[in-house]
Amino acid sequence: MTLDRLSINQMTVRQLSLPELAGACRRLGIGSVGLWREPVQAYGVEATAKLVRDAGLTVTSLCRGGFLTATDPRRRARALADNRAAIDEAATLGTDTLVLVAGGLPPDSRDLAAARERVADALEVLAPRAGERGVRLAIEPLHPMYAADRCVVSTLTQALGLAERFPASQVGVVVDTYHIWWDDSAPAAVARAGERGRIHAFQLADWTTPLPEGVLNGRGQLGDGAVDLRGWRSRVDAAGFTGAIEVELFNEGLWARDGREVLEETAGRYVEHVL
Amino acid sequence: MTLDRLSINQMTVRQLSLPELAGACRRLGIGSVGLWREPVQAYGVEATAKLVRDAGLTVTSLCRGGFLTATDPRRRARALADNRAAIDEAATLGTDTLVLVAGGLPPDSRDLAAARERVADALEVLAPRAGERGVRLAIEPLHPMYAADRCVVSTLTQALGLAERFPASQVGVVVDTYHIWWDDSAPAAVARAGERGRIHAFQLADWTTPLPEGVLNGRGQLGDGAVDLRGWRSRVDAAGFTGAIEVELFNEGLWARDGREVLEETAGRYVEHVL
């Protein structure tokens, strides 16, 4: 009952194989997972779909498409083709949500606004295709420390502004506490996104310091950091969101431990700090 | 002529002693410096004032006061006393600007909004005192990656909202490209701050990746990163700002080199990427 809405993003326990993850989730009473394309492709998309179906698991999201900021026409065409493939993979896995990370600045460019517009242009192409396949694109704003090299969409307000150019059934946003916890304009954006049915995914991680070199793999276990996780859960609930609450941690320390133990700890932290 | 508005923040070439910095600036035709309290105290505040006066240098800012978020009454009293001392030091050095960094979350707190209000409460005490000494407090928003452990004021809009509770002659903001370059709401805040005479300091650094562990000392040399420095200079100029343009780099690579060479390189980069 208490774990009803909990979904474990595969990256949190990337040391587990897909069958191990499915088994461990079933034993703990966790009914949902978020998956990543690379390990799914390695295991086989159809095989993964069968595995999760047989285990009775719901796939709450697939990470990730995006990286749509290239100016070079060939790179741009490759990115669109890759996103079409990602939409198909999401449909095959039976998830209704594909997470998109915008991409960073192209080499030698310093124009964030133009890069964001190229993301919008790409969505013009991808959104209808996603709609046809029953997949919603979820734009994930990443923390501003990734603006140069990973994601030019840095706030929930920006992500929502992009999403609102399209039907909510095609494009929405990801609310991830790790990326938005510092932002005093994010609560209003959460409310607006919820009201309009555009919260397509809700992800949790805590903010711990010091940040590691490269700032990629320092997302804290729930309760270890500065984020008022329960407060954000309440805001997202108040916005009308009733979907899965997905825990997505990138953390070298957690990856070095036994995956099943980390999974159990994460479920406990969820009950203690989120519910 | 071209270096008229350039000011070198002492931290950029912290390997130089104060007399070395003064001599090197004079040789290059740089007429202004921003100073830091710790090296100034080590050399002596009065002695530093005489040194810069004799060298014909203008002190454009003193870094830094602030760290006003403590809940513990004794810590809070100590912080206020330290800020009063910083105001006096600024007055002695003949600079009209004391840079304030708000401070991070206290231990075990997750309440950013309350921490920001404690900064406002402290400004109630400090602003009139600064006004009496002819010193303006300049609230510096730091990049959101410092929100937990260093500065709960993360955007120029937030900083301006705090400053606007006080007369512009007492409290304003720092516009630092390193901290705000990613923020699409910052240009409007720059315009508003300029219109109301609240841009008390303008600082430059470039954004380079990957970020180092702890993310403190990775500020890029002008031209090495993702920031449209000339674009920001134009915005700040258009907002009516005519003051010094201060280069403040925290960079282990630059600190490991000959300070005079770094200073000369920085002046060259300023001409190439900022003017």
Chain A residue with minimum CA distance to B217: A213
- Measure in Å the smallest separation between the Cα of A113 and chain B Cα atoms: 8
For the record, the structure tokens of A184 come out as 């005093």
- Closest CA in chain B for residue A158: B184
Structure tokens at B275: 């003017």
CB distance B213–A209 less than 8 Å?
no
Asked if A215 and B211 count as a contact pair (C-beta separation under 8 A), the reply is yes
For position B237, what pLDDT does the model report? 98
When CB atoms are compared, the residue of A184, A215, A227 closest to B110 is A227
| Chain B residues touching residue A211 (CB < 8 angstroms) | 145, 211, 213-215
Question: Measuring CA to CA, which residue among A97, A64, A69, A62 is closest to residue A83?
Answer: A64
Q: Which of B111, B119, B149, B216 to mutate to test the interface with A (most CBs of A within 10 A)?
A: B149
CB contacts, 8 Å: A110 with chain B: 226-228, 231
**CB distance A55 to A23 below 8 Å:** yes
Crossing angle of helices A186-195 and A229-238, in 10° steps, is 30
Angstrom distance (rounded) from CA A157 to CA B143: 17
- Which chain A residue shows the shortest CA-CA distance from B105? A226
Q: What is the pLDDT of residues A88-98, one digit of tens each?
A: 999 999 999 99
| β-bridge mates for residue A101, sequence order | A66
Which residues of chain B are within 8 Å of residue A147 when distances are taken between CB atoms? 181-182, 207, 226
Q: How far apart are alpha carbons B275 and B272 in whole angstroms?
A: 7
Give residue A206's pLDDT. 98
Distance CA A52, CA B257 (A): 56
Is residue B247 within 8 Å of B203, Cβ to Cβ?
Answer: yes
Note whether A184 contacts B113, CB cutoff 8 Å. yes
**Angle (deg, nearest 10), helices A73-93 and A112-133:** 40
Rounding to the nearest 10 degrees, give the CA dihedral for residues B225, B231, B236, B239.
-160
Q: What distance in Å separates residue A231's CA from the closest CA in chain B?
A: 10
User: How many Å apart are CA B1 and CA B3, to the nearest integer?
Assistant: 5
Which residues of chain B are at the A interface, by a Cβ-Cβ cutoff of 8 Å?
105, 110-113, 143-145, 147-149, 154-155, 158, 181-185, 207, 209-215, 225-228, 231
DSSP lists the bridge partners of residue B36 as B63
User: Which residue of B155, B157, B216, B222 to mutate against A (max A Cβ within 10 Å)?
Assistant: B155
ipTM: 0.96
Per-residue pLDDT of chain B (275 residues; tens, 9 = 90+): 599 999 999 999 999 999 999 999 999 999 999 999 999 999 999 999 999 999 999 999 999 999 999 999 999 999 999 999 999 999 999 999 999 999 999 998 999 999 999 999 999 999 999 999 999 999 999 999 999 999 999 999 999 999 999 999 999 999 999 999 999 999 999 999 999 999 999 999 999 999 999 999 999 999 999 999 999 999 999 999 999 999 999 999 999 999 999 999 999 999 999 99
Token look-up 């929502």 returns A160
Kind and range of the H or E element at A234?
helix A229-238
The answer to whether the beta carbons of residues A55 and A27 sit under 8 Å apart is no
Kindly report, residue by residue over A168-205, the tens digit of the pLDDT. 999 999 999 999 999 999 999 999 999 999 999 999 99
How far is B176 from chain A, CA to nearest CA, in Å?
15
Burial class (CB in 10 A: 0-12, 13-18, 19+), A243: middle
Nearest CA in chain B to A112: B182
Q: In this predicted model, what pLDDT tens digit does every residue of A8-43 receive, in sequence order?
A: 999 999 999 999 999 999 999 999 999 999 999 999
Q: Spell out the domains of chain A, with CATH numbers in brackets.
A: 6-273 (3.20.20.150)
Degrees (nearest 5) of the Cα angle B172, B175, B177? Answer: 170
Percent of chain A with pLDDT over 90: 99
Minimum-distance CB partner of A207 among B148, B155, B215:
B148
Q: Taking CB atoms and an 8 Å limit, are B144 and A147 in contact across chains?
A: no
Give how far B58 is from chain A: nearest CA, Å.
32
pLDDT at A1 over 70: no
Pairing of β B136-139 and β B171-176: parallel
The closest CB to that of A145, out of B112, B113, B211, belongs to B211
- Nearest CA-CA distance, residue A220 and chain B, Å: 13
pTM of the model: 0.97
Instruction: Identify which of B78, B98, B80 has the alpha carbon closest to the alpha carbon of residue B37.
Output: B98
Answer yes or no: do A226 and B105 touch at CB < 8 A: yes
B240 half-sphere exposure, CB direction, 13 A CA radius: 10
CB contact under 8 A, A215 and B214: no
